[in-house]
Chains A and B, each alone.
Chain A
Amino acid sequence: ETGVTQSPTHLIKTRGQQVTLRCSSQSGHNTVSWYQQALGQGPQFIFQYYREEENGRGNFPPRFSGLQFPNYSSELNVNALELDDSALYLCASSEGQGSGNTIYFGEGSWLTVV
């Protein structure tokens, strides 16, 4: 059984550019969530995908968007990057949507916007 994997691990982008981050969920998991963790802060919920549909969104602007594919892998896209978007982006997967399901996190993608 493989865990949650994310790519790339680190990247640097320029303000105004666009970025795509990728996540492969743990085997058998149909729910993927994305979190943003700024330095010194806890993870903040961006959105969740369940069976390819967006299923809840946090307080993030529309330039944060995502996709989930039939194999349940997922992408996070951020357009018009701002300096404050610099953070660790975490992907988490679970089997189903109930709070009783254990959520597994990836190691994250470090994004630096300059």
Chain B
Amino acid sequence: AQRVTQPEKLLSVFKGAPVELKCNYSYSGSPELFWYVQYSRQRLQLLLRHISRESIKGFTADLNKGETSFHLKKPFAQEEDSAMYYCALSVHNTDKLIFGTGTRLQVFP
């Protein structure tokens, strides 16, 4: 079964601390994974995708097929990073997405 698991509902850190939001997936085939972010009072938007292998707003995510993980990392959290983060899997490399339940990141000053 295709599934995305985000084990943490809430992650709280202080400004400047490292952040890792966990994402594990279950998928038969070659997965394509994404991180979406929703800031307060804003719409859901793409943060990054694994095929791009890019860093956006200081965030990176590496696909680990052995551990079936796609954790989102940032070395130094900023207050403006506070948001809801969703990991998502593309179904058969289409634009139909399976989302995890999301992790709320709170960055305290």
Residues in B whose Cβ lies below 8 Å from that of A58 = 96
Contact flag A97-B44 (CB < 8 Å), given A41-B101, A42-B86: no
Taking Cβ atoms with an 8 Å cutoff, the residues of B that contact A are 4, 6, 9, 32, 43-46, 51, 86, 88, 90-91, 93-102
Contact between A45 and B102 (Cβ–Cβ < 8 Å)? no
Query: Given A45-B98, A56-B96, A103-B95, are A90 and B44 also a contact pair (CB < 8 Å)?
Result: yes
With CB as the reference atom, state the residue of chain B lying closest to A106. B43
The binding surface of chain B is classed by DSSP as mixed
- How many residues on the A side are at the interface (Cβ–Cβ under 8 A)? 29
Interface bits A79-109 vs B (CB < 8 Å: 1, else 0): 0000000000010001011111111111110
B-facing mask of A16-50, CB < 8 A → 1, else 0? 00000000000000010101000011111100100
Q: Are A48 and B44 in contact (CB under 8 A)?
A: no
On whether the beta carbons of B43 and A56 are closer than 8 Å, the reply is no
Contact A105 B97 (CB under 8 A): no
Task: Determine if A99 and B44 form an interchain contact, defined as CB atoms under 8 angstroms apart.
Answer: no
